[in-house]
Amino acid sequence: MSIGAPGTRIEGLSMWRAILMLGGVILHGAIGLEHIPVFAAIPLISHAFRMGSFMLISGLLCGYTMARRRSPLAWLGRRSIQIGVPLLVGLLVICPLIGWMLDDLPDRTRWPFVLAHDWYHLWFLVALLAYAPLSYAFHQWDRRYGVIVRIEQALADRSIGSGRSAQTVVLLATALACCALMMLTRQILAGHIPPGYAAPLSHIQLMLGYAPFYLLGFLLARSPMLFRAATHSIRMPVIILVCVGIVYAGWFGGVRLALDPLRRAIVGDLVELIGMAICPPPHRS
């Protein structure tokens, strides 16, 4: 991926978004066929990188757009409407219809009526809606205090402003932040979620966990130095993907069968969580 001139379309990102959306169709088409090994691998691969990549691309595009708008506040208002209206329609119309088809509608219609009783896959819209004001706040903070310049200076002072070492630092720091947020959120929520709210609130770990990817995308859009560092080479992203693939192959290929069902579930969730946090590196296209 390369940074285009103002007003130009970034074709690489359009291609990536199309691939990721197509991946969603394939993912949902495999539901119910998990007993077939090929179809069982589809959710695993999708969960490992698809939503994290979506969040990184969203942060990247928001960073570009806000930098080129005369009024960031106007951008925030438009962004809130663009995300909020589809989210509201989904919560009021689509989610109840899904509940009706799944014979789960009575739980959703008892008073008090809670829109977020189960928002299914709409959690990512809730996350993007929450990220928007945070993006605006960070933009204002950067304009006032030069936060991104200070980050660049800190990297330069430590002689890791470019090259393989900088790429490794950026990728692994983002992955560790994502993993830590997911694990911490899961630990905090464990045992404190009422059964009726378990489905929607379980997505909070994803909303918080993917925030570092969104922030990374935002920073890459605003800092050519960080962009060059993160996309320095394809070697490190490939190493990360291969290592995660080996862990997945070992775990799902037989190691998990040696554990009792309870430990298998706990360790299996942890393995998938680590893959979700580490897999989506930036790509050059």
pLDDT at 111 over 70: no
pTM of the full structure: 0.86
> What is the rounded CA–CA span in Å between residue 171 and residue 237?
8
Mean pLDDT, range 223-250, rounded to an integer? 86
Mean pLDDT, range 254-259, rounded to an integer? 74
Mean pLDDT, range 142-164, rounded to an integer? 78
> Which tokens hold the place of 206?
């994803």
List pLDDT tens digits, range 35-55.
777 777 787 778 778 888 889
Q: What is the mean pLDDT of the chain?
A: 80
Please tell me which residue, 144 or 17, carries the higher pLDDT value. 144
Look up residue 160 and give its DSSP letter: -
> What is the rounded CA–CA span in Å between residue 12 and residue 235?
19
pLDDT at 261 over 50: yes
Whether 280 and 19 have beta carbons less than 8 Å apart is answered as no
Give the total residue count for the chain. 285
Cα–Cα distances (Å) from 40 to 45, 215, 281, in that order, read: 9, 31, 23
pLDDT confidence tier of residue 240, bands split at 50, 70 and 90 = confident
Mean pLDDT, range 186-206, rounded to an integer? 78
Mean pLDDT, range 77-86, rounded to an integer? 94
For position 56, what pLDDT does the model report?
A: 92
Q: First vs last Cα of the chain: how many Å apart?
A: 4
How many CA atoms, within 13 angstroms, populate the side-chain half-sphere of residue 130? Answer: 14
CA-based nearest residue to 244, from 194, 197, 282, 280: 280
Highest mean pLDDT (candidates 30-39, 99-108, 146-155): 146-155
Which positions ≥6 away from 242 have C-beta within 8 Å? none
> What is the rounded CA–CA span in Å between residue 241 and residue 247?
10
Whether 139 and 218 have beta carbons less than 8 Å apart is answered as no
pLDDT at 187 over 50: yes
> What is the rounded CA–CA span in Å between residue 220 and residue 122?
26
For position 103, what pLDDT does the model report?
A: 66
> Which tokens hold the place of 57?
């691309």
Whether 66 and 223 have beta carbons less than 8 Å apart is answered as no
CA-based nearest residue to 24, from 50, 56, 59: 50
pLDDT confidence tier of residue 212, bands split at 50, 70 and 90 = very high
> What is the rounded CA–CA span in Å between residue 90 and residue 121?
10
